[in-house]
Structure 1
Amino acid sequence: MADAIPAAAPQPQGIAPQALAGVRVVEMGQLIAGPFCGKTLGDFGADVVKIEAVGEGDPLRKWRLLQDGTSVWWQVQSRNKRSVALDLRASEGQETARRLIAEADVLIENFRPGTLEEWGMAPEQLHAANPGLIILRISGYGQTGPYRDLPGFGVVGEAMGGLRHLTAEPGRVPVRVGVSIGDTLAALHGAIGVLLALYHRAAHGGAGQVIDVALHEAVFNCMESLIPEYSAFGAVREPAGSALPGIAPSNAYPCQDGWVLVAGNGDSIFKRLMAAIGRPDLGEDAQLADNTGRVARVVEIDAAIGAWTAERRVDEVLEALAAARVPAGRVYTARDIAEDPHYQARDMLLTQRTRDGRELLVPGIVPKLSSTPGAVRSSAPRLGEDTDAVLVEAGLTQEQIALLRSRGVIR
């Protein structure tokens, strides 16, 4: 496990310069999609200024399990950010936000389409003051189209994108993946868009642009052969539980003390798998030499594997399959991850100190760059903790800041 990260500190001595050092990001989103994108950019050196509503701030501060009154999820989602509490519904708050955006490289927002325009922050207005600005807009259905104005959350995007229909056992209710995967996929697509736009701006004359990410489109982009199969064959892919339809064998199999995932779908891997479970007859069967033949007899193959795993413990199965060079793994819980030596060896478990002085185990940084790696430079801020410092950087005087505070525009 990596050493503890201080609550707020500059980049540690000896750490290589980060890829996005010097990039200023203003984050105006809340909850998951926009802020996850901001977190991703912040992990790689961007200076992320998060604008939150005065009062309660980002609702994520109170989501799921709380420690000292604050969500532990917040500690991950908002590391490497500075918090400015600002009333964007007030004209003075909007003007203050425009001043911050005028000095930024990137603006992230995930409000309902049209909200920026209502606040006098339409892209053309922001570009007039800051031509190089990159504006990332994440919404349920995008900034155009007939569904543009409908309310959209990640779960709806997962359904419309085609994912939710497949996440079920055949004939049973579609279930959610277990995390907010629609929001996260949109955030990652947004981060890719920002990086592409930054590259284009640097290489082609300094112009900014608008990035339009819809939640359902980000999900749909990951749906593999779903539409080509429908187009070519009229095939509507249906739920298949833990199996991978059309690829065999690849499934979850019961053990005496849990489940294992086994991916034996390579031709040579399949032969090694069958030898390992004592079924060389299947491994040498000419009909099962390629994936097409195995798919036709997948029920028989799954039954053979399941009969073998059911007589053994998970550790026994994994040891035997590792020796046979067959991809397999246990179904990890949070405890499994926290105690796993491979996670620890690759710095995927960091001990981060909160602003209240508590130490908290948090996920590490992905991806891993050899020359400009990511780093946790500071832990998640308290609401409005950086308001004064950021406004001073934007050119406001102490008198102006005091006036805004007296009027309830900032906190």
Structure 2
Amino acid sequence: MTQNRKGPLAGIKVLELGTLIAGPFCARMLAEFGADVIKVESPDGGDPLRQWRVLKDGTSLWWSVQARNKKSITLNMKSQEGQDIARRLALDADIIIENYRPGVLEKWQLGYEQLKALNPATIMVRLSGYGQTGPMKDQPGFGAIGESMGGLRYVSGHADRPPVRVGISIGDSVAALHGVIGAMMALRHRDVTGGRWNGKTGEHSVAGQGQMVDVALYESVFNLMESLVPEFDVAGVVRERTGGALPGIVPSNTYTTGDGENIVIAGNGDAIFHRLMKAIQRDDLAHDPALVRNDGRVPRTAEIDAAIQDWCATQDIDSALQILKAADVPVGKIYSVRDMMNDPQFQARQMFEQHHFADGEGIKLPAISPKLSETPGQTAWLGSELGEHNREVLSALGYSEADIAELQNKKII
């Protein structure tokens, strides 16, 4: 696990001070592309995600993905000595990723301004429910709340039922991706202000200018909400829940085939709509001049959807897919994980990686995205045992074996 790492971020040091999803997912992506990520965990059980969802031998299978390529050290962050070690690691890092409540790091003398005073090149990615400023900054904010406040929940589901959630922690994950984007832009800015990385010496030639990347979960979700704001501001339109349909873009919906399967058809391009209507033998709609453009189709959404549904009801899913694909209409089955793992497209794109636990049992992980042609990401190892790298990391900071043993006895690590 101390092997020389490859990838576009090789040589970049990252300190992860966070738990669960948003911060660790952000750090995970940097680790997948070569960054040297040190994850700080509590000696008392570590990151709670270690025990989330489906477990193997007491550890979450999710952990194998979320913590891959990271080095795990334990620190009692409520102790002065633990905070001192974290500060040394932070000042040696290129990027610090944290998702504590605003103010916690400042209490420990690890806040952005405090570290920046010691190292102007400090880049800190801060992920929180509501950001580092504003009247709500001190409130706890999970992804589910960010999805609600950011607008996603309001438009998800059917009009006659309460809003639903996406079946994953999408708010946290979207925030994490914003954190990655912000970190890369901050690195670029540091480079152009002088902080260029010297791969031979492993040092920065000039300090460069760091900065704070302030990511709020609700704002990350809000950033995905397309034309929501101008539609309301200019036209007074409040986008509502529309089930499987994409409002104002016709036709794009979920339909049910005769064998009870669900199928998504996106025939909203003008030429595609024409081909779709021909394929379902509705020449009258294909040649209706009022339906040539999307703005003409929108008022007749119900009529068009009914025509497509009527046709789908006469087909099983395989025949529907075959006919519509032959007509060059975007169409797809709604996949379960079983469908994914047996799908030739997933297999051709090598979207699954085979690995093994220490006991020899195999495990498949999702492959790394995006795919870079020259410097692709890689899985060097699965999620580490709690504190597995204490000795390695502390030794690199200059701690002796006796020092490390004393820290263990005092339950600092």
Instruction: Specify the TM-score bucket, using the shorter chain as the normaliser.
Output: over 0.9
> Is the contact between residue 349 and residue 362 of structure 1 (CA under 8 Å) also seen in structure 2?
yes
> Is the contact between residue 82 and residue 386 of structure 1 (CA under 8 Å) also seen in structure 2?
yes
Residue number in structure 1 paired with 2:12 = 23
> Is the contact between residue 354 and residue 380 of structure 1 (CA under 8 Å) also seen in structure 2?
no
Residue number in structure 1 paired with 2:237 = 235
What do the CA deviations read for 1:248-291 (whole angstroms, capped 9, x no partner)? 00000001141100000001100100111111111110010000
Aligned equivalents of 1:124, 1:250: Cα separation in 2: 49
Moved more, 186-195 or 356-365: 356-365
Pairing partner for 2:82 from 77, 81, 93: 93
Residue number in structure 2 paired with 1:44 = 33
Aligned equivalents of 2:386, 2:108: Cα separation in 1: 22
TM-align CA RMSD: 1.1
Residue number in structure 2 paired with 1:249 = 251
Aligned equivalents of 2:133, 2:359: Cα separation in 1: 43
Aligned equivalents of 1:313, 1:200: Cα separation in 2: 55
> Is the contact between residue 243 and residue 252 of structure 1 (CA under 8 Å) also seen in structure 2?
yes
SS at match of 1:210: strand
Aligned equivalents of 1:357, 1:124: Cα separation in 2: 47
Residue number in structure 2 paired with 1:145 = 134
Return the structure number with greater relative CO, CA threshold 8 A, min gap 6: 1
SS at match of 1:241: coil
> Is the contact between residue 75 and residue 379 of structure 1 (CA under 8 Å) also seen in structure 2?
yes
Residue number in structure 1 paired with 2:156 = 167
> Is the contact between residue 22 and residue 46 of structure 1 (CA under 8 Å) also seen in structure 2?
yes
Q: Does 1:10 align with 2:3?
A: yes
Aligned equivalents of 1:379, 1:241: Cα separation in 2: 38
Residue number in structure 2 paired with 1:314 = 317
> Is the contact between residue 103 and residue 394 of structure 1 (CA under 8 Å) also seen in structure 2?
no
Q: So what's the TM-score if we normalise by structure 2?
A: 0.95
Unaligned runs of 5+ in 1: 1-7
Q: Does 1:335 align with 2:338?
A: yes
Counterpart residue identity of residue 236, structure 1: V
Aligned equivalents of 1:271, 1:243: Cα separation in 2: 19
Aligned equivalents of 2:219, 2:293: Cα separation in 1: 34
Q: Does 1:214 align with 2:216?
A: yes
SS at match of 1:297: helix
Aligned length: 399
> Is the contact between residue 253 and residue 309 of structure 1 (CA under 8 Å) also seen in structure 2?
yes
Q: Does 1:286 align with 2:275?
A: no
Aligned equivalents of 1:326, 1:11: Cα separation in 2: 47
Residue number in structure 1 paired with 2:303 = 300
Counterpart residue identity of residue 214, structure 2: D
Counterpart residue identity of residue 48, structure 2: P
SS at match of 1:171: coil
Aligned equivalents of 1:10, 1:265: Cα separation in 2: 50
Residue number in structure 2 paired with 1:58 = 47
SS at match of 1:375: coil
Residue number in structure 2 paired with 1:184 = 173
SS at match of 1:54: coil
Cα deviation, residue 73, structure 1: 0.6
Counterpart residue identity of residue 274, structure 2: K
> Is the contact between residue 253 and residue 260 of structure 1 (CA under 8 Å) also seen in structure 2?
yes
Residue number in structure 2 paired with 1:3 = none
Counterpart residue identity of residue 18, structure 1: G
**What is the correspondence of 1:380-399 to structure 2 with a 5 Å cutoff?**
380-399=383-402
Cα deviation, residue 379, structure 1: 1.1
Cα deviation, residue 10, structure 1: 3.4
Residue number in structure 1 paired with 2:60 = 71
What do the CA deviations read for 1:49-102 (whole angstroms, capped 9, x no partner)? 000001110000000010111110111000010100111011100001111111
What do the CA deviations read for 1:219-238 (whole angstroms, capped 9, x no partner)? 00000000010000111111
Aligned equivalents of 1:339, 1:11: Cα separation in 2: 34
Counterpart residue identity of residue 309, structure 2: G
> Is the contact between residue 61 and residue 70 of structure 1 (CA under 8 Å) also seen in structure 2?
yes
Aligned equivalents of 2:297, 2:177: Cα separation in 1: 35
**What is the correspondence of 1:309-388 to structure 2 with a 5 Å cutoff?**
309-388=312-391
What do the CA deviations read for 1:317-336 (whole angstroms, capped 9, x no partner)? 11111100000000000100
Cα deviation, residue 356, structure 1: 4.1
Summarize the Cα distance change of 1:82–1:254 in structure 2 as closer, same or farther, 3 Å threshold. Answer: same
Aligned equivalents of 1:285, 1:369: Cα separation in 2: 45
Aligned equivalents of 1:327, 1:128: Cα separation in 2: 54
